[in-house]
Amino acid sequence: MPGCDLVLIGSSTGGLKVLEQLFQRLPVLKAAIVIVQHITPLVDQSFVASLARVSKMPVLLAQQGMALQSGKVYLAPGNVHLTLLRNSVVQLSDGDKVNSVRPSVDVAMKSISMPYGCKIAGVILTGMGADGAAGISHIKQLGGITIAQDQKTSVIYGMPKAAAETGRIDFILPTERIADKMKELFS
């Protein structure tokens, strides 16, 4: 099923810097990429603009009902949860905070299913707390590929550490190797 491959990236404190390093190294991938960054509504547009300056793929602020397209990057807006309907249609809601945050990486990752013939990857980058640990376990349980940033290249090693401690991470890598792994999986 072409066009159904998906990468969901979760990040928080230090995320913009790490994401810029990651996207500078990435070509246009054969997957839709969704980023859930702990962010406020006042910052989300400038975050998109900063990432778009370094990305070879178009970077968009996700909107309600938007259909994901391969080769594009979507950022969850600030202060709303993002879920995916059938892995391909953006749903936004202002439900209760999860792990004290909204948007929550766990909420987005737990909305993913594994359609036959599709490749799904979950990536947890720098950030405080444990948001993403339950979500990454869900992706692994579905048969997806799971990646966490290593301690050395993380600005804050909370989220990647919590993800690694689940025992459900396939690859613990520095930023540049995460880009290489994504190229290997989705080029």
Q: Which residues are catalytic?
A: 12, 38, 131
Tokens of residue 31, six digits: 């997957």
Query: Nearest 10 degrees: CA dihedral of 76, 37, 116, 90?
Result: -10
d(CA 179, CA 184): 9
**How far apart (Å, rounded) are the C-alpha atoms in residues 95 and 52?**
28
The side-by-side arrangement of strands in the sheet containing 73-75 is 59-61, 73-75, 32-37, 6-11, 120-124, 145-149, 171-173
Question: Is-cis flag, bond preceding 2, omega within 30?
Answer: no
